[in-house]
Amino acid sequence: MDDLIIAGEKFSSRLIMGTGGAPSLEVLDQALAASGTELTTVAMRRLDPGARGSVLDVLRKRDIKVLPNTAGCFTAGEAVLTARLAREALGTNWVKLEVIADERTLLPDPIETFDAAERLVADGFVVLPYIGDDPALARRLEQAGCAAVMPLGAPIGSGLGIRNPHNIELIVEAAAVPVILDAGIGTASDAALAMELGCDAVLLATAVTRAQRPDLMAAAMKSAVVAGRLARQAGRIPRRRYAEASSPMTP
Amino acid sequence: MNVMINGSAREVADGMTVAQAVRTLTAATTGVAVAVNDEVVMRSAWETTALSDRDRVEVLTAVQGG
């Protein structure tokens, strides 16, 4: 499979993992290993003096690049501060920008997200914004200097798959930066579909970490992303209303 | 003086530095970042930045998420 390139950095895996939802760091470690991921998100939270072990140790041991997110932020101001704290704590200027509108849907707030993206790009960040499946917003964020766009397939943790494949195709058609399908993936066929639609990568967490066997689902996702990418590059046959014989019709 | 450290009210000695505030929570200096009153304090300035009465100190680290 060809490399994924984000902001000039190469990744041989097109599966980006999240770390939320895993019952333990051991389960997470096994799932990340099985996924083959090279880029994985973490959240920033108040330091808990009683916490045992760190997700950072797991990523460091596996040589996985850390992608801090701004999960939990409701305003551009909160997201910018969280990104700056992540840069200071983790030594990376990459950020998955996530500004949510409300806790019930966890849908991204487009106004706050765009505001934060402009401020973070101006501050030298490599910004990967999580957005709705909105082609117009994706284009505006690319013009604002974002390094990728991350449209959702469905709400975070819902496992509903890709609810509007047509919009994802429209985003892919117009984008010159990588398109990363983020959120909503429930099982391997969803990840394969994202890649078949032309996405450059898939980001998922819950589908693996809350599967009955996370390591097995991680392996399935790895295969699905590869299969979907190859199918996209191969070029699928057109859909037809009626049969087209694949054997000669003459005797 | 009184400060807030990660949302908890604390009575601390006058002139407590950011570094001393961090050490009340952890001995780690990597993987940790600090904001005082919503402004990031760079690690290189922790030892020389003194807190003031009513400062709000946030000490963050990476956790599972996303």
Cβ-contact B16, B24 below 8 angstroms: no
- Whether residue B63 is predicted with pLDDT greater than 90 in this model: the reply is yes
CA dist., res. B17 & res. B49, Å (int):
5
Q: Does B61 touch chain A (CB under 8 A)?
A: yes
Which pLDDT value is given to residue A25? 93
* Mean of pLDDT over chain A: 96
DSSP string, B35-66: EETTEEE-GGGTTT-B--TT-EEEEEEEES--
Kindly report, residue by residue over A90-118, the tens digit of the pLDDT: 999 999 999 999 999 999 999 999 999 99
- CATH superfamily entry for domain B2-60: Beta-grasp domain (3.10.20.30)
Express as a percent the part of chain A with pLDDT over 90: 93
- Whether residue B66 is predicted with pLDDT greater than 90 in this model: the reply is no
B8 burial (CB, 10 Å; 0-12 / 13-18 / 19+) is: exposed
Kindly report, residue by residue over B18-36, the tens digit of the pLDDT: 999 999 998 888 899 999 9
CB-based contact A46 B7, cutoff 8 Å:
yes
Which pLDDT value is given to residue A77? 97
Phi, psi of A117 (to 5 degrees): -60, -45
**Span A241-250, mean pLDDT?**
89
**Span B7-13, mean pLDDT?**
93
* Choices 3.40.50.1370, 2.170.120.40, 3.60.15.10, 3.20.20.70: CATH for A4-234: 3.20.20.70
Please report which confidence band the pLDDT of residue A248 belongs to, taking 50, 70 and 90 as the band edges: confident
CB-based contact A71 B66, cutoff 8 Å:
yes
Kindly report, residue by residue over A8-64, the tens digit of the pLDDT: 999 999 999 999 989 999 999 999 999 999 999 999 999 998 888 889 999 999 999
Q: Which residues of A touch B31 (CB under 8 A)?
A: 54, 56, 89-90
Which pLDDT value is given to residue A53? 84
Could you say which of A18, A49, A88 has the minimum Cβ distance to residue B40? A88
The complex scores an ipTM of 0.92
Which pLDDT value is given to residue B30? 87
Please report which confidence band the pLDDT of residue A217 belongs to, taking 50, 70 and 90 as the band edges: very high
Which pLDDT value is given to residue A231? 98
Confirm or deny that A161 is annotated as ligand binding.
no
Please report which confidence band the pLDDT of residue B57 belongs to, taking 50, 70 and 90 as the band edges: very high
Kindly report, residue by residue over A62-85, the tens digit of the pLDDT: 999 999 999 999 999 999 999 999
Which pLDDT value is given to residue A175? 97
Kindly report, residue by residue over A178-192, the tens digit of the pLDDT: 999 999 999 999 999
**Span A197-201, mean pLDDT?**
98
Could you say which of A28, A45, A69 has the minimum Cβ distance to residue B60? A45
Rounded-to-10 torsion of CA B21, B25, B31, B32: -30
Cβ-contact A31, A209 below 8 angstroms: yes
**Span A168-172, mean pLDDT?**
98
Going by C-alpha positions, the residue among A43, A24, A44, A37 that lies closest to residue A64 is: A37
- Whether residue A250 is predicted with pLDDT greater than 90 in this model: the reply is no
Q: CA separation (Å) from A71 to A10, A78, A100, A164, A175?
A: 25, 10, 8, 23, 24
Going by C-alpha positions, the residue among A63, A175, A195 that lies closest to residue A128 is: A175
CA dist., res. A163 & res. A133, Å (int):
9
Domain boundaries, chain B: 2-60
Q: Does B43 touch chain A (CB under 8 A)?
A: yes
